[in-house]
Amino acid sequence: MRGMAADKVVKAFAVTAGIALSVMPGRAVWADNLTDAFIGAYNTSGLLEQNRALLRAADEDVAIALAALRPIINWSVNINQEYTKTRSGSVVTTTNPARFFSGLTLTQLLYDGGASVLGKQSAQETVLATRQSLIDIEQQVLFRATTAYLGVLLQEETVQIRQNNVDLSSEELRASNDRFEVGEVTRTDVALSEAQLASSRADLADARGDLSTAQAEYLNAVGKLPGRTAGQPSLPNLPRSQSDAIGLAQRNHPAILSAQHQVRAFDLIVRQQRAGLGPNVSLGANAGVRENFDDDDYQNDAGLSLNFNQPIYAGGRLAATVRRAMATRDSSRANLLNVQKDITQGVTDAYVRFETATASLTASTERVRASQVAFDGIREEATLGARTTLDVLNAQQDLLDAQLSEVLSRTERSLAAYQVLQAQGLLTAERLGLAVQIYDPTLYYNLVKKAPAQISKQSKDLDRVLKALRRD
């Protein structure tokens, strides 16, 4: 049964590794919507891989702390050369025996005031804190994917608007030339139209450059170049009020949960350091063979000892160690308060940003409608001689500004909505229901938490897991 369980663990890690390898830059894999961007970022993020490795290192700290409660067995070889000169009356005797010892030594902690147990508990709290930090990193990775996707979408729409403006400016230039030929306008009007067209072309070039920059960021964040985007993503379900969002964030955000576990870990370390000031009792044993190089004599040695130690004075190091642990604990408590305040502010900022973007989008949409009506009217009036070329160009610029403002507001609203999710601690692959192999932090921990020996079957299972993670 244990072998089957280990195989499942290895397969789970192997699948994760396989998915990550299957989506790499340069391959013809196209992300058309925000969900695809999420999946690409989750599967290819080096930042996630880095922090998963840090979590596995924290898992091993639990095994190391547990090992302090177990017997320590060493194979020992000792070669000893002595020199002794003895005088008894007028007789002087000199000896220089050479001895060889080979055998096993054992040390077992019997009592340390609970310091080792507290050390293990502290390591476990650190593991829980690191898991929450990993979730927070996951949120950062997915939000960066959101920003990258919406950035590409914004620049694509901007390029399209700029291109339409170039086409419109070309039409206006032709119309100005036609009216100039029949004497309806002056050369100045034609020059104004030429300047407008040149400016539109320059703005289009800038927009295409911004699109290339946005695509480069998308490649970095998602792991592949974007295809044609599918448009604005649907908005996620958001809380009914700002206070509801703050309440959920205070209970659920991984940064707060991580800080809480860190406080508990440092509390345990303070208790551990204080316990270390008390007595320490250990059992020692050894068994082996001792030989003399001077002759063929040997003897079988075996011994058993009970050792008691009580720290009394170490130059002030003992008290300083306790005070240092207390200061670190106090720092972690202050950090928890800061994190809670930062999360509250983050939710408030994101929620206000979403509401502002929503209102701005409503106003921008109405502005586009009104600007379009005004432009069409002024353009028609210009054909009848009631408006100048400058009036038409100004109306065209107003319409362009309104269209760009609408696109920007729509993108801002989508980005703010997902920022609200992140601020609440809800922007994770599991909560989003992404079609990915979710990384399970308990798989590796369950293999190492009992500190398996190197020669055990469980240790060999761990080697297979690590090989799958390294993707050798």
Q: Higher-confidence residue: 175 or 461?
A: 175
The arithmetic mean of pLDDT across residues 220-229, rounded, is 90
At 306, which CATH number? 2.20.200.10
Per-residue pLDDT, 35? 93
Residues 264 and 245 in one domain: yes
Residue 430 burial (CB count, 10 A): 12
Per-residue pLDDT, 472? 44
The arithmetic mean of pLDDT across residues 107-136, rounded, is 95
Q: What are the pLDDT digits (tens) for 161-218?
A: 999 989 988 888 888 888 888 888 888 888 988 998 999 999 999 999 999 999 999 9
Q: What SS3 state is found at 362?
A: helix
Residues 145 and 219 in one domain: yes
Lowest mean pLDDT among 125-139, 157-171, 283-297: 283-297
Lowest mean pLDDT among 374-378, 428-432, 454-458: 454-458
Rounded to 5 degrees, what angle do the CA atoms 233, 141, 136 make? 115
Going by pLDDT thresholds of 50, 70 and 90, the confidence category of residue 86 is confident
- Residue 192, H or E segment: helix 187-222
Candidates 74, 78, 96; CA nearest to 289 is 78
Per-residue pLDDT, 186? 83
Residues near 330 by beta carbon (within 8 Å), at least 6 away in sequence: none
Among 260, 292, 310, give the residue marking a domain's end.
310
The arithmetic mean of pLDDT across residues 229-245, rounded, is 90
The domain total for the chain is 3
Structure tokens at 346: 């983050």
Per-residue pLDDT, 251? 94
- CA distances for 31 relative to 19, 37, 200, 293, angstroms: 15, 6, 30, 77
The arithmetic mean of pLDDT across residues 28-32, rounded, is 49
Greatest alpha-carbon span in the chain: 142
**Calpha distance 159→393 (Å, rounded):** 20
Residues 263 and 401 in one domain: yes
Q: According to the per-residue pLDDT averaged within each range, which of 30-39, 335-344, 379-388 is highest?
A: 335-344
Domain range for 86 is 71-111+279-310
Q: What are the pLDDT digits (tens) for 349-369?
A: 999 999 999 999 999 999 999
Per-residue pLDDT, 15? 38
Residues 143 and 17 in one domain: no
Q: Residue 14: is its pLDDT beyond 90?
A: no
Question: Which H, E and C letters describe 36-63, residue by residue?
Answer: HHHHHHHHHCHHHHHHHHHHHHHHHHHH
Q: Higher-confidence residue: 216 or 289?
A: 216
Residues 41 and 90 in one domain: no
Lowest mean pLDDT among 27-41, 69-83, 302-316: 27-41
Tokens 């761990």 correspond to 462
Q: Higher-confidence residue: 78 or 429?
A: 429
* DSSP E strands, 381-439: none
Residues 199 and 318 in one domain: yes
Rounded to the nearest integer, the mean pLDDT of the chain is 87
Q: Residue 468: is its pLDDT beyond 60?
A: yes
Enter the DSSP assignment of 293. Answer: T
**Calpha distance 367→187 (Å, rounded):** 32
Residues 134 and 19 in one domain: no
Residues 364 and 430 in one domain: yes
Residues 427 and 452 in one domain: no
Rounded to 5 degrees, what angle do the CA atoms 274, 280, 286 make? 150
Residues 64 and 75 in one domain: no
Residues 454 and 396 in one domain: no
Residues 62 and 201 in one domain: yes
- Residue 77's Cβ-count burial label (10 Å; 0-12, 13-18, 19+) is exposed
Structure tokens at 68: 């302090």
Per-residue pLDDT, 19? 34
Structure tokens at 319: 């008290």
Per-residue pLDDT, 183? 80
Candidates 443, 435, 433, 466; CA nearest to 23 is 435
Among 264, 293, 310, give the residue marking a domain's end.
310
